[in-house]
Structure 1
Amino acid sequence: MATIRDVARHVGVSPATVSRVINGVPGFSADTRERVEAAVAELGYEPDTLARGLRTMQSAVIGVLATAVSDALASQVMSGIESAARSRGYTVMLGRAGLGAEHAPSYLRSFKTYRAAGVVVISSAITGDMRRIAGARLPLMAVAIRNGDVFPSLAIDDEQAAYDGTRRLLELGHREIGLLAGDESSMLVNAPRERGYQHAMAEADAPTLVERGNSLYDSAPPALGRLLERAPRLSAVFALSDEMGAAAINELQRRGRRVPEDVSVLGFDNTRTSQHVHPALSTVAQPLERMGEQAVFGLLDGTWRSRIFEHRLIERGSTASAPSPAPSRKRNLP
């Protein structure tokens, strides 16, 4: 098996230069980079990431913990993570932590074994236990969730975003707006979004209608059914994830309700799911790929501070003005 010294001799450079090329570190010419990359391919050299980690106490690996909250959301964050990692010569090791992050401890121990440079936690809180298991040498960064002041996180202002989404539905003339919320135990994501909805509805002196799922597709139809039982004339649904929003559109149509003519539907996140349903789902967007990129750069550059990103409202075909009330029928007098 070829070694880094074999590659260096083949090209006529030092092993340090080969290492810098492989890890994407600047400081050499384009010609040198091309010759090193050609030699790596020709000789079949593969860097020993684990051995490098044992020597330097850090390997060219970024760990990722993804919960089961939304595969679509995690996928878009992962796109940003992988793009940023590749640009710095790092690879990504993914661990699926489960809906309640129950598998997080075992993955964190694996990341420690591989001397990962850091771990990005997608849409799940960094807990004290996770920090203890990771130890002092393994930095953690949460993405798409505000982790308070204790642990660093990259997120939007969920409460303001939900407030803005609700206000838009109110501006369209809707009064009976049902909320498809996430799991009540998800205090760091669901609770602020629900507060934003409650705030906007209270300002408009409109009734609040909340039913909960777990942010996943299959949880939305039964929750929507409960909303419709409580408010048969519901004219808008605000789903706090795109998966629940897409499910709401399909379930409303199954029940004979037109979207958006009878009922408008607004989602949250702007994942690819929002455009894989008809009509396309209006949504409150958060910059998922960008947050993934910035998480990696923050871990590698040692800038682990929390940051709030801007959200925006994207209006597509699933929202429209509230339907006009049916005209009252007057009985003709003789």
Structure 2
Amino acid sequence: MIKTISDIAQLSGVAKSTVSRYLNGGSVGEATKKKIERVIKETGYIPNTFAQSLKAKKPTIIGTIVPRLDSFATSQTLIGIDEQLRELNYQMLISNTSQDLEREIENIYSMARQKVAGIILLATQITDAHLEAFEQLQIPVLLVGQQHEDVFSVIHNDYDAAYELGRYILANGHRKIAFLGVTEKDIAVGVRRKEGFKRALEEVDDCEVKFYETSFKIDEAIEKVPSIIDEFHPTVLVCATDNIALGAIKATHLKGIKVPADLSITGFGGYDVTEIIHPSLTTVKFFYADAGKIAAQSMVKLLNGQTIAPVILSKYKITKRESVDNIVARGL
């Protein structure tokens, strides 16, 4: 079984250094190149791209740090990053933090020790410890999903998306609104989406709105929503994520409340499941895979000394489905 460069060199009849130079993109004569390629093809040899990157003058491994793996947004973003990096002849190394900030900081330093060319961080928040790590690394860092004035960022247009969703809800006649958000430590989801929605509310005078907070977990939304309904009796529940909205729909089902006849519900994200549930969910669709591709392209540009914008916005779309009732049309 062929396992090493030495084996390829022996079968090709060339020096080990020649094979190494070929695998790392160095200059090799055409006849020698064909001999090495023939042996690699016949043996099915797979080069250790990570080891190659460590030895190469120009590393080709991009470290990608994620807060969780069991997330639609994360998985789609990773798909976009991976596909684009492979097209550009780079590799992705993934590290999961399980939403532990201390572990996230450790992973940033660990990636740097592994000689990655740059780091793409799917961030939930940026702390002083993050900024200190970025300053020490001396390699390009790119944020996805959050922004900071000192770091290149690819973000979803949370503010404008929330504003547009708010206008849609108001146009459907809703004036008693509950907004179920998350901690403001998460600037994108906890702050920008709330701020964009508030801007829409400023355009009408007769609204009664209450803001609540939960986590990103479906189970916690299931527990939180019944008390909101009982205490406030909103006509619409605006959820800061699709997972929260899914929990809300489950909670209404358990209480015998009909969506959207008794309560309208909206989300943010555009997860695939929101289209197949009943009623299907009105939500903001973010194009996570596209954002991942943009992040990968931007990182490679940075590595090649090219200029990119400090903040890049990815696109979104308001997806109007069955979970929002038109109160105006019903004359309520």
Structure 1 length as normaliser, TM-score?
0.82
1:107 aligns with 2:107: yes
CA distance in 2 between partners of 1:197 and 1:59 (Å):
43
Asked if the contact 1:142/1:154 (under 8 Å) is kept, the reply is: yes
1:82 aligns with 2:96: no
**Residue type of the partner of 1:180?**
L
User: 1:30-179 alignment to 2 at 5 Å?
Assistant: 36=37, 39=40, 42-47=43-48, 49-50=50-51, 52-56=53-57, 58-68=58-68, 71-134=71-134, 135-145=136-146, 147-179=147-179
CA distance in 2 between partners of 1:228 and 1:106 (Å):
42
CA distance in 2 between partners of 1:212 and 1:245 (Å):
13
Displacement of 1:266 in angstroms is 1.0
Aligned to 2:229: 228
Deviation sequence 1:39-77 (CA, Å, 0-9, x none): 257252422524642452x53322122124971211111
Displacement of 1:14 in angstroms is 7.3
CA distance in 2 between partners of 1:185 and 1:225 (Å):
25
- Give the 3-state SS of the residue equivalent to 1:98 in structure 2: coil
CA distance in 2 between partners of 1:152 and 1:325 (Å):
49
1:6 aligns with 2:8: yes
Q: 1:114 to 1:173 in 2, by over 3 A?
A: same
Report the count of equivalent residues: 315
**Residue type of the partner of 1:287?**
F
Deviation sequence 1:71-114 (CA, Å, 0-9, x none): 12111111111111222233322222233523112211221122
Higher helix share: 2
- Give the 3-state SS of the residue equivalent to 1:173 in structure 2: coil
Asked if the contact 1:59/1:117 (under 8 Å) is kept, the reply is: yes
Q: Show structure 1 runs of 5+ residues with no match.
A: 22-28, 327-334
Asked if the contact 2:24/2:52 (under 8 Å) is kept, the reply is: no
Q: 1:289 to 1:244 in 2, by over 3 A?
A: same
Aligned to 1:25: none
Aligned to 1:318: 323
CA distance in 2 between partners of 1:261 and 1:4 (Å):
71
CA distance in 1 between partners of 2:42 and 2:86 (Å):
17
Aligned to 2:198: 198
Q: 1:62 to 1:246 in 2, by over 3 A?
A: same
Displacement of 1:115 in angstroms is 0.9
Q: 1:321 to 1:5 in 2, by over 3 A?
A: same
CA distance in 2 between partners of 1:258 and 1:11 (Å):
75
CA distance in 2 between partners of 1:38 and 1:290 (Å):
38
Q: 1:256 to 1:325 in 2, by over 3 A?
A: farther
- Give the 3-state SS of the residue equivalent to 1:185 in structure 2: coil
CA distance in 2 between partners of 1:20 and 1:51 (Å):
10
CA distance in 2 between partners of 1:72 and 1:37 (Å):
41
Question: Identity across aligned pairs (percent)?
Answer: 18
**Residue type of the partner of 1:226?**
S
CA distance in 1 between partners of 2:272 and 2:13 (Å):
45
Asked if the contact 2:221/2:248 (under 8 Å) is kept, the reply is: yes
Asked if the contact 2:226/2:252 (under 8 Å) is kept, the reply is: no
**Residue type of the partner of 1:140?**
V
Asked if the contact 2:235/2:262 (under 8 Å) is kept, the reply is: yes
**Residue type of the partner of 2:221?**
A
- Give the 3-state SS of the residue equivalent to 2:324 in structure 1: coil
Displacement of 1:213 in angstroms is 0.7
**Residue type of the partner of 2:81?**
I
Q: Show structure 2 runs of 5+ residues with no match.
A: none
Asked if the contact 1:282/1:315 (under 8 Å) is kept, the reply is: yes
CA distance in 2 between partners of 1:11 and 1:201 (Å):
75
**Residue type of the partner of 1:309?**
S
- Give the 3-state SS of the residue equivalent to 2:216 in structure 1: coil
Displacement of 1:276 in angstroms is 5.1
Root-mean-square deviation over aligned CA pairs: 3.2
Which moved further from structure 2: 107-116 or 217-226?
Answer: 217-226
Which moved further from structure 2: 10-19 or 96-105?
Answer: 10-19
CA distance in 1 between partners of 2:95 and 2:155 (Å):
21
**Residue type of the partner of 1:191?**
V
Aligned to 2:300: 300
